[in-house]
Chains A and B, each alone.
Chain A
Amino acid sequence: MSTTAPTGGPTDRPVDLSTSRPMVEVRGLHKMFGDLHVLKGVDLEVPRGSVCVVLGPSGSGKSTLLRCVNELEEITGGRVVVDGELMGYREVERNGRTRLHRLHPRVVARQRSRIGMVFQRFNLFPHMTALENVMERRCRCAG
């Protein structure tokens, strides 16, 4: 694990294209639903500006992996770092031991607002117009 583990920094900064830091970094990701071990130590690095395809049979955990990146699922083990920022947790060093503290839902919401996501079943808001659906993030969530 890298020594310069990122902590919950400012989230409203624009995406920095000049660095070579990977956009999405997943390290040793485990996800269990009860006794069902879905993701068993997934490592993934998506370089900045690249297009990445996750391919696999049904039920192999593709969606779960994506949902973990977006913190829609609470991960069981490992780290998810997006644009240098640890998702969902804050690393606190005390007595030479690193412990993870869960981030406040408000901060998690701000982290999520920087990640776009299209769902398998789209989940458009049916009570809004198409335009309102598109505008929703910019107007309501960014601030």
Chain B
Amino acid sequence: MSRPDVVDHDPVPDRIHAVPVPRPGRWISAVVLLVLAVMAVHGLVTNENFRWDVVWLYLRDVVVIRGVGWTLVLTFGSMVIAIVLAVALAVMRRSDNPVMRSVSWGYIWFFRGTPIYTQLVFWGLLAVLYPRLSLGIPFGPEFFEFRTQDVITAFWAAMLGLALNEAAYLAEIVRAGLGSVDTGQTEAAKALGMKDSKILTRVVLPQAMRVIVPPTGNETISMLKTTSLVLAVPFTLDLTYATGAIGNRTFLPIPLLIVAALWYLLITSILMVGQHYVERYYGRGFGDQSAGARRRGPGGRGGRRKPNRQDLIAASGTTKDDPFMEVTP
């Protein structure tokens, strides 16, 4: 069998090599935009006031790097807590039990309805408002007692404040995701004899993830920046506070703000890459990005990624490309 690249004569005898329609507007607009972009970058780089030497110096400062670490810990820690809480809240919201439903509604109402800054201040004041915490029977005897300031440190106050606020937003995202899954899926799972918990974790949630993941990635990126508000607690080790403190001490606030901005940009860029892969994983079976990947087949585009099981099945050639085509009217 001859491959197309081995053939030296054109199999199409009268191949068309047409001149494309001239589009001067495209060229002009592209040039104008490029010039503007170059001017913007040039103005940024050559402006002495930005003190790029100071930016470069403090970009690698140990206090700044530590600030990046704390910001990351706060971002991911609070997101993990928030996601777990949000799934619970969303399931409660769909429950048949009216008490569950209203508690979930009330939580979302309160934590979405008050500013995050105010909430963080209150979490910081927890030790003043409730000097001691104890474990025991409600309205009955107490077994353990803690001083609040020993348990809820500034770090945990910041983390909990961010997480509880975020959970309210994520709960609505998860609820929308669960609602997006066709009810027929639940029925089919029921007909198979699955328990309710299994229907949720094995059938509904995996499909809801397709809807849940993109806005959750968005929320993670947003959370990265929201951590800059933890000075309300006050928690003073995160990136914004650390760079701000250096800026005030050295009387160079602008370059230090740029340092913080560059770090936030870098982390956001990394998160965007991660989000792309998570989205592709949960998009499987819905013919969006994964369908394109399947058509290329494993090893297509130079074997850019490890082929998944579905790709291997498709590549074996024993199944049709779209198994639904033939049977769905």
Contact = CB atoms under 8 A, between A and B. Distances in A.
Q: Do A and B come from one complex?
A: yes
Interface of A: 70, 72, 105-106, 109-115, 117, 119, 121-131, 136-137, 140-142
A109 B196 CA distance: 9
Given A112-B191, A136-B192, A140-B202, A126 B286 contact: yes
B217 interface: no
A141 B188 contact: no
A106 B196 CA distance: 8
B191 A128 contact: no
A141 B196 contact: no
B263 to A, nearest CB: 37
Interface of chain B, helix or strand or loop or mixed? helix
Contacts of A113: 192-194
The residue in A121, A127, A128, A129 that gathers the most chain B C-beta atoms within 10 A of its C-beta is A127
8 contacts: A119-B184, A124-B188, A124-B324, A125-B185, A126-B285, A126-B286, A127-B206, A136-B192
B249 to A, nearest CB: 54
Nearest to B287: A126
A72 B327 contact: no
List 6 tightest A-B contacts by C-beta distance, closest first: A113-B193, A123-B188, A126-B285, A123-B184, A112-B193, A117-B191
Interface in B171-214: 182, 184-185, 187-196, 198, 202-203, 206-207
Interface of chain A, helix or strand or loop or mixed? loop
B29 to A, nearest CB: 42
Contact of B195 (A105, A117, A127, A131): A105
B310 A129 contact: yes
B49 interface: no
Contacts of A124: 188, 324
Nearest to B308: A129
Interface string B294-329: 000000000000000110010000010001100110
Interface of B: 182, 184-185, 187-196, 198, 202-203, 206-207, 284-286, 309-310, 313, 319, 323-324, 327-328
B192 A112 contact: yes
B323 A130 contact: yes
Contacts of B187: 72, 119, 123
B309 A129 contact: yes
A122 B328 contact: yes
A123 B195 CA distance: 17
A113 B192 CA distance: 5
Nearest to A111: B193
Contacts of A129: 309-310, 313
B181 to A, nearest CB: 10
A126 B206 CA distance: 10
A137 B192 CA distance: 6
